[in-house]
Amino acid sequence: MNHRPRKRFGQNFLVDANIIDKIITSIDPAPNDHVIEVGPGLGALTQPLLGRVNRLDVIELDRDVIPKLHKLADQEALRIHNIDVLAFDFTTFGQSNFDGQKLRIIGNLPYNISTAILFHLIQHRDVVQDMYFMLQKEVVERIAAAVGSHDYGRLSVMMQLHFRIIPLFTVAADCFRPAPKVESALVQLIPHPSLPIVSEQYDAFSALIRQAFSHRRKTLKNTLKGLCDSSQINAAGIDPGKRPQELDIHDYVKLLSQLEKAETAPHDV
């Protein structure tokens, strides 16, 4: 490897051949699949993917690695998008390039912006078939956390609202260069065919979850103060004395519905 990993890009290159094979086997791409790789780096996953699919799009911000990627295949097979993934419009790209066929998005995500990337991809879930990401193990545990567990929080609720979360396997730090200070894990995310909220409710739901988990140890009647009172929480069929991690997604949907009813109710003048 003759490329110095850049800390500002969060680069930890996967180098273990057995893990690379295990990832490709898990994804099991078909020739006509429309695969997008986020952060290909030096091409550890890119090269075997090119042996399985007819076309591969990759999103890479680091200009220094792009010449190395160009050497892997011609531009018909490998299309490189030199752009920040947080600025990439997956929806427009998918709709304009693939005649409605959904995208398979994969990547060894930079740990310093992995949560931001996940929230960005929520906005584009309608064009996604599935996603496979290498993340910090702790983040995968938070995404997949069960209601009431220590790891269950805002990230759990928002990701589980949109995706079925399937943790696949753990990857040791020494499988990367440079080795990160934490273990990693591969996770599969599959968009739910339908959601319990409509798109117009997303911002309000997101604000509710953000406030609910702003003080995990407080009860709902305290952490949601200013947004709703105990009577509204009770009206949703929820005990105001519960803590935010004790509510599942459907509880929060019911609470959102109650808040919307209160907003549309006539007020005395």
First to last CA, the chain: 72
CATH superfamily of 7-191: Vaccinia Virus protein VP39 (3.40.50.150)
φ, ψ for residue 67, nearest 5 deg: -60, -35
* Angle between helix 202-212 and 249-264 (nearest 10): 110
| Calpha distance 54→80 (Å, rounded) | 15
Q: Calculate the dihedral angle through the C-alpha atoms of 126, 192, 164, 37, rounding to the nearest 10 degrees.
A: -20
pTM (2 d.p.)? 0.91
pLDDT at 265: 53
pLDDT at 136: 96
Domain boundary assignment for the chain: 7-191, 199-264
What dotted CATH number matches 199-264? 1.10.8.100
Q: Give me 52's structure tokens.
A: 């399985």
Q: Give me 227's structure tokens.
A: 């947004």
| Cis amide prior to 178 (ω within 30 degrees) | yes
The strand order across the sheet containing 103-108 reads 78-81, 56-59, 34-38, 103-108, 128-136, 184-191, 163-171
Burial 76-87 (b: 16+ CB within 10 A, else e): eebebeeeebee
Residue numbers in the chain where pLDDT is lower than 50: 1, 5-10, 267-269
pLDDT at 262: 77
